[in-house]
Structure 1
Amino acid sequence: MPETEATPVVMTVTDAGIRFRRNRRGRRNFKDLFAGRKRRSRPGEFWALRNVTITVRAGEAIGVVGRNGQGKSTLLKLVAGVILPDEGTVDVRQGVAPLIEITGGFVDDLSVRDNVYLTAGLHGMTKAMVDARFDEIIDFAEIGDFLDTPYKHLSSGMKVRIAFAVISRLEEPIILVDEVLAVGDKAFREKCYRRIEELLASGRTLFFVSHNERDLRRFCTRGLYLDKGALVLDAPIAEVLARYNAEYGTA
């Protein structure tokens, strides 16, 4: 489909590949040290992603499907600019709001209040912008009683709350969500999902990594099926889930 003013291309990934080392030669893990044995070295590298090509248009909601360790999170980090491709190109034409790792950007010893300003600032929000949204962020996270508590003392669920509250208030057009909402309780997760629906209704573009088929069908119209670092299928989400389920069972 040719690019139009109504549906501009916001991202192109062309023959992209990411290569990682299998291990750090000479290092031993705790089990090896405890047992007093040498670790067998497995030198070499592997491709977490390779030959991946996709084009994304404004307003698309894309579900990324695959087993653990097949490149889903790596793809989102590539889109977010956290890592750079070893081959191929990635052209992201709009800003990205990544909810990939709940601890990303947060400092354990700082208070919740300070972390809100710090993390929002790292994503480009000015102090005045955070001031204007601060009450909204805290109310959404339902964490007002813990504003001056060190971040490290929060539970995993509370960390998800504050992270999602901050990231979902960014004005970036592209949103990346990678599994993290699975940690939250059911009521708050539904609250986050309603917020995602609001963002989609406003024209945002979504990348959504999940093993929950119901959630993938709820938000996404398009699916990317990754297996062994390769893009196996790029198609409507129902077709992608049917293919995945036929090969490996439920998402």
Structure 2
Amino acid sequence: MPVEPTEPRRRRVDAERNRRRILTGAREVFRDHGVAATLNDIAHHVGIGVGTVYRHFSDKEELIDALFDDMVETVDGYLREALEEPDAWLGLTRALERTCEVQAFDRGLREVMLGTGRGPQRQRQMRDRVAPSVDALVARAQEQGTLRADVVPPDFAVVQLMLGAVSDHTGQPELWRRYLVLLVDGLRARPENVQMPELQASDDAMQEALAASSARSVRDSKSGR
């Protein structure tokens, strides 16, 4: 006979289910309303009492951190899967596409994640978590001769920034896919590749510049520029 779950275990399961419902609802509310959304708005959207939300998240910033952690875990999972793919080029380009899909969330959610004072810190957290996998993916693809030898790992952060700008400036959320094909084609190793100029900035300097650019972009979108 199946064993009935104990009451403490049932409470833990119910609590985790509520937490997932809150995170799912928060994504939807933040996408629609940006930083103006409150925990009350989220509770109403999910159909639970606001007290339940506060039992899981003491304030909005803690909830945003949980959303961001979820995103980082998703991206890191894609990269780990890519490292298990024997064809390094396929793994790398598939991970790039899936990561761009994750980061193609609309402006409201990006505003919430990057538009607060913790935006640069969150971007550094993302880099620290995924950088070793990106380094390994780049090295494997170059060893297999499919990725051009003059590409360096920080180039991929710039590629993602460029693809995000396509949607931001055109208002077409899926247009980035067209230009991903173009950029991926330029990453492929070929005998006729023209040597790229060397990247002059350090990885840290590049990441600081990209974090500042993202925060500036969010501020501009909030001010209606």
TM-score, L = length of structure 2: 0.25
Considering fraction of residues, name the structure with more helix. Answer: 2
Greater fraction of residues in strand: 1
Normalising by the residue count of structure 1, what TM-score does the alignment of the two structures yield? 0.24
Per chain length, whose mean CA-contact separation is higher, i.e. which structure has more relative contact order (CA < 8 Å, sep 6+)?
Answer: 1
